[in-house]
Structure 1
Amino acid sequence: MIICADCGATNGDDDQFCGTCGEFLRWDAGAGTPPTRPADAGERPRTGSADERPPAVATRAPVDPVAATGEAAPDVPPRRPGDGRDPADPAGEDAQPAPRQPGSPDRRGQLPDDPAPVGPVDSPSRSAEPRPVCPACGRDNAPGRRFCRSCGAQLATPGEPAPQRAWWQRWWERLRRRAPRRRSLREERRAVRAARRTLLIVLAVCLLAVLAVVGPPLARRAVEAVRDRTQDPVPLVPASVTASSAAPGAGAARLVDGANNRYWAPNGNAVDAWVEGRFEEPVRLLTVVITPGVSPRRQAFLAAGRPRGLTVVTVDADGKQKKSDIELRDEPGEQHFDVAASNVVRIRLVVRSTYGPGLIPSVAIGEAEFFGRR
């Protein structure tokens, strides 16, 4: 038996955990004696007082029959080995027993001078009790134990249902108990094919998920690109035109009147001046055509300021803006720029820089034309 060093409860020799407190029973503990902690390295053993030391074990000295009774022992004829005695004991019945250590059993395994060993005896009522089964490892335990003797898990008390383990605990227990076996070559190939099929299925599902997220925008772009290359662009005329400012005789409406000898010019500083056109319905914008200057004739063209850098700002039906910067050449005539945008409801031209600073007007745009699809 093993005695628990924490609570002093008695446990069986093959128990690994205490049935009362659940503590681990050390293997270095002897049978029937609690385990002792070895002294730390460099620490001297403690010498307690006389009260703290364990009592010495009393040994029984051999009794002299003459001194005890005062009478002489009767003469007994000597017996030769084997005269009606035990064959296994050639010394005879009168032979003196070999000296033994106090508390050690004799050759029959008994302690003749000590009381009979007392162990856990199961009474009829206790033996009839059901043996609790550990919910963790499935081992049977003696009635009355609170902790499993194999794994130390807490056992259910009588009258209470056994604790339910989580699904992953049951799965891990079955996986741990499953004995590994060597698979054949056919099974190995079958497992490889199954893993390959599973991988292909997972990749296909991931591809479908990606296409479900980014597929519609890509599909719309592809359709728009095909239509842009297969359909001829048409003129997109704004329904109304407004500007940040306008010089006398150079209103914003002249920007889209179709005549290149009339122009729009801001009143004052040219930088950051803008002109904006609005469409009746959303359109697909593809190209912007700008005719700079006050006239297509070069002499009149060089006499006024011309736009050099413009920022094209498009606004779609959802209010989302898109900006594109374009650079113009300092020469009269039409200049074409590719500006692609969908669902455009407004378009604004913002002046960033000009040619011919100090001239009047500071900047002039003869015509602005837009092409695309409705």
Structure 2
Amino acid sequence: MSEPTPTPAPQPIAPVLPGRPTPQRPAAVRAPGEDLGAHGGTPCPWCATPNRHDRHFCTRCAMPMAGHPDTGPAARRPWWRRIFDFRHRETPWAGDRPRLRRTFDRVLTWIVAAAVLTGVTVLAINTPKAVSATRDHFAKRAPVSPDSYRASRAYAGHKPELLFDKLNNTWWGPGIAGAGEAEWVEAHFDEPTRLLNVVITAGESTHTEQLNKSALPHRLTATIKTADGKTLTRELTLDQTAGGQTRDLRAADVVSVRFTIDSSYQTSGRTQVAIAEIEFFGPSSANS
């Protein structure tokens, strides 16, 4: 029979302090916020709580503001409301870093905006001229006859009125040999007239074999006077050929046109410059 195990001596018990009561923490209570509904807040599609325009999730129920599955997404605002709406732009989503705006990007943006503004301004200024030029280009032409004529000088039997007699076998000449530089002929209109083109027939006729009988005008300066006192100039260059040559004048309210000879072809000390016919054309009354 085994001997019993000896019982250990009891350990002394240290004194214990009385327990301290743990204070109860107050429940978190959200303070009442601003009533966004009175200031145009966007109602949550789930709980109808007003929210700021830039929120993605409801401040009360934390549901997405994109829209309820039954109602669908909210309607997109028109572009003309969004282009200058800096205060109500959508806040980036968490984790999306907005693109950095560097100084060069800002300068480039201003340059592009200035170029667009300049283009719009130029277009607005030149639109009436472009419309008028297009209308004149497609307009039907009709001959316009001047009411009076004069010239710096004229050869005997070849006065300036022969330039406007609708005959191409009569001609005007200054009566001096050479290129006839600075000599001029002028046509007057009693009523202000809109002119589109002029047809000039150089030489003494339209026959090629008669081109060598006189000098032919090469460069002419057309000085146009209008009813409001303005003076316009057109530089006309003619070819060394027989027959009528059409050139643009395109002026409104014309009261006179002076053609000054600047240079001539095939000049010599025995021939003078000659012009057979000058014909003006304006818009026909048949144009609508």
Q: TM-score, length-normalised on structure 2?
A: 0.52
Unaligned runs of 5+ in 2: 1-90, 102-108
Residue equivalent to 1:322: 233
Deviations 1:71-118 (A, max 9, x none): xxxxxxxxxxxxxxxxxxxxxxxxxxxxxxxxxxxxxxxxxxxxxxxx
CA contact (8 A) 1:303 1:359 kept: no
| Distance change (3 Å), C-alpha of 1:223 and 1:303 | same
What is the aligned residue count?
183
Q: 1:41-60 deviations in whole A, cap 9, x for unaligned?
A: xxxxxxxxxxxxxxxxxxxx
Mapped to 1, the partners of 2:250 and 2:122 lie a distance apart of 21
* Compared CA separation, residues 239 and 328, structure 1 to 2 (3 A): same
CA positional deviation for 1:271? 0.9
Residue 237 of structure 1 is matched in structure 2 by 145
Paired residues of 1:289 and 1:337 also in contact (CA < 8 A): yes
Q: Which amino acid aligns with 1:312?
A: A
CA deviation map 1:12-36 (0-9, x unaligned): xxxxxxxxxxxxxxxxxxxxxxxxx
- Identity percentage over the alignment? 32
**Structure 2: how far apart are the matches of 1:217 and 1:359?**
53
Work out whether 1:261 is the aligned partner of 2:169: yes
- What letter corresponds to residue 222 of structure 1 in structure 2? A
Q: Is the 8 A contact 1:283 1:373 kept in 2?
A: no
Compute the displacement of 1:239 (Å).
1.4
Corresponding position of 2:221:
311
**What are the superposed Cα offsets for residues 290-335 of structure 1, whole Å, 9 maximum, x if unpaired?**
1111123344332222222222222233323223231322x32112
Q: Does the aligned pair in 2 maintain the 1:289–1:369 contact within 8 Å?
A: yes
Q: Which residue matches 1:225?
A: 133
Paired residue type of 1:260: N
Q: 1:363 to 1:214 in 2, by over 3 A?
A: same
Q: Using the alignment, how far apart are the partners of 2:200 and 2:169 within structure 1?
A: 13
Cα offsets for 1:329-362 (capped at 9, x unmatched): 2x321122233333332212111122232233x1
Q: Work out the CA distance in 2 between the residues paired with 1:301 and 1:210.
A: 50
Secondary structure, in 3 states, of the residue corresponding to 1:368?
A: strand
Structure 1 counterpart of 2:245: 335
In the other structure, the counterpart of 2:201 is 291
Matches within 5 A, 1:32-111: none
**In 2, Cα distance between the equivalents of 1:310 and 1:246?**
17
- The answer as to whether partners of 1:309 and 1:328 remain within 8 angstroms in 2 is no
Bigger relative contact order (CA 8 A; separation at least 6): 2
CA contact (8 A) 2:219 2:235 kept: no
Aligned to 1:281: 191
Tell me the residue number matched to 1:180: none
Q: CA deviation at 1:206?
A: 11
Letter in 2 for 1:370: F
Q: How far apart are 1:364 and its partner, in Å?
A: 0.7
Q: What's 2:88 paired with?
A: none
Over 3 Å counting, the alpha-carbon distance change for 1:207 and 1:255 in structure 2 is: same
State the shift of 1:275 in Å: 0.5
Q: Do the aligned residues in 2 keep the contact of 1:274 with 1:349 (CA within 8 Å)?
A: yes
Please state how far the C-alpha of 1:282 moved relative to its aligned partner.
Answer: 3.0
Q: Which amino acid aligns with 1:243?
A: A
Could you say what secondary structure the match of 1:332 adopts? coil
Alignment partner of 1:258: what SS?
coil
Bigger Rg, structure 1 or 2: 1
Give the gaps of 5 or more residues in structure 1: 1-183, 193-199
1:94 is aligned to: none
| Residue identity opposite 1:373 in structure 2 | P
Runs (4 or more) in structure 1 with deviation over 4 Å come to: 203-211, 213-217
State the alpha-carbon separation in 1 of the partners of residues 151 and 124 from structure 2.
38
Q: Structure 1 length normalisation: TM-score?
A: 0.41
2:60 corresponds in structure 1 to none
Distance 2:279 2:202 in 1: 12
Counterpart of 1:6 in structure 2 is none
- Are the equivalent residues in 2 in contact too, given 1:314–1:344 (CA < 8 A)? yes
Return the offset for 1:222.
Answer: 2.3
The DSSP-based 3-state class of the residue aligned with 1:287 is strand
**Separation (CA, whole Å) in 2 of partners of 1:318 and 1:215:** 28
**Match among 237, 262, 270 for residue 359 of structure 1:** 270
Cα contact 2:234–2:249 (8 A) shared by 1? no
Distance (Å, rounded) in 1 between the aligned partners of 2:128 and 2:229: 17
Superposed displacement of residue 278, structure 1: 1.6
SS in structure 2 at match of 1:259: coil
Following the alignment from structure 1 to structure 2, what is the Cα–Cα distance between the partners of residues 267 and 351?
14
